[in-house]
Structure 1
């Protein structure tokens, strides 16, 4: 490096025009440095190599020369920028083509996780975006970042190009989550708002068939739920095992969310894959307030699940006196049997220690 500096210094002292280019776009200094064996992959303090700099100043002739001389085409600077990312950032499609023709890594990302496609999208470089996609650039990364970036910047033509190539934000990512379900799972309200404001499909399901609303019903912190419910969201959507938002809220004992869903038209008699209604789930969860609310709003009190269990039979299993009394008061049938032949009365007898003790004693009389 010191020898290179001495050579440059001598040229400049002799009056060399350091900006003068020859017919190939090379300056005399570059020609002489290469001739004297300068390290073509030498870096400055920021990790910038001659090839990166050539991409920054958009000189494709120098780029071609450097690649032929063995410049490291996938070298990263201190921020993880490769020559290809620099070329995309500067909108130099000739440089992009040259680098890719010489096997530049088309999907290599910088420290921020931005690959060449994302970089081209955020700089509204339509021709480069299309070229990268034609060459196999990955547009379905873990965050659909290219599409998200183009939408947030309102680059509609870029967005259309990506969607035409199949970048559908409603489809799950590699980890099974959509952008919205992922944001909901991470309690990231700010991102949820941003995605919806950018036009993301509010009822997009993850690989498990759960929507953002269903996921938000699991958590006590209802800020995301409150935001979603104000939008045109499907209140009675079905998720994994045909669960609804209301069934989910009953299972996770979120009383406030249960009330809001009922107010918004949540189906109180909807059943999941196993025939369990919100009322049956509330009895499993042993929550008197939710049971009371559902009955008040007209839940079918003797509805059975696939095992023949009614809300009263479930409440009897858990021996919840308040729930049992409420169900009976509201007219629950004490004689109904489940698939095992068990009823409210038989379970009560089985769980009553006094009656069991009397029965035991009579055997020995």
Structure 2
């Protein structure tokens, strides 16, 4: 089995140049370096590939150049982030769509055992949630905390319009409103406890109890 090369993050020349080009959103530089033989999935000492570095910076041009050249959209770093997972969690929608079109593993999970949908729901990224649901990410996946995307949207959300919309999207996609957390509390009970009246209405309309 081949092991990706590792380059110290302090290096300033040689293979490190691809990682720096990704950080600068230098698509032209990336194309030149790849044509000269740079290893596309080379990693720094944090396990990050050039594509993940570009994703962290929401450097769309660099990410596009790398993805179209065949960069691995599922390559995880040392804390189990991948370009696909990070783009979903942070709402970097253009990069997320690139990863989905080029082999994103919808079942892959982050260090909390969650799919990309769960942090997207928690952070209020409405269009990202819509995109991930349309892509086919499992809406009722349970992470290591015992929470689904629906539970996180209620428990960790602010109860405002974005999270209300996300709750609606998840319910419309078939999320089970009665899945409870490890303490036996459902999304409805959390919404009631937080005074999220609109969420409570949406949950009741979907059969929550």
The aligned counterpart of 1:191 is none
Q: CA deviation at 1:218?
A: 0.6
Q: Work out the CA distance in 2 between the residues paired with 1:301 and 1:314.
A: 14
Q: CA deviation at 1:309?
A: 2.1
The aligned counterpart of 2:88 is 283
Q: Does 1:305 align with 2:121?
A: no
- Per-residue displacement from partner, 1:277-320 (whole Å, max 9, x unpaired)? 11111123321111111111120112101221210012112111
Q: Work out the CA distance in 1 between the residues paired with 2:26 and 2:69.
A: 19
* Counterpart secondary structure, 1:338: coil
Q: Does 1:245 align with 2:58?
A: no
The aligned counterpart of 1:319 is 124
Q: Which has the larger radius of gyration?
A: 1
**Equivalent residue runs for 1:49-128 within 5 Å:** none
Q: Which fold has the larger relative contact order, with Cα–Cα distance below 8 Å and residues 6 or more apart in sequence?
A: 2
Task: Check whether the contact 1:280–1:314 (CA below 8 A) recurs between aligned residues.
Answer: no
The aligned counterpart of 2:140 is 335
Q: CA deviation at 1:357?
A: 5.6
The aligned counterpart of 1:235 is 40
Equivalent position to 1:293, from 85, 98, 119: 98
Q: CA deviation at 1:224?
A: 3.3
Q: CA deviation at 1:179?
A: 5.1
Q: Work out the CA distance in 2 between the residues paired with 1:215 and 1:270.
A: 18
Q: Work out the CA distance in 1 between the residues paired with 2:128 and 2:72.
A: 21
The aligned counterpart of 1:78 is none
Q: Work out the CA distance in 1 between the residues paired with 2:52 and 2:12.
A: 24
Aligned length: 161
TM-score (norm 2): 0.68
The aligned counterpart of 2:73 is 268
Unaligned runs of at least 5 residues, structure 1: 1-170, 181-201, 204-210
Unaligned runs of at least 5 residues, structure 2: 1-6, 165-187, 201-209
Task: Check whether the contact 2:27–2:65 (CA below 8 A) recurs between aligned residues.
Answer: no
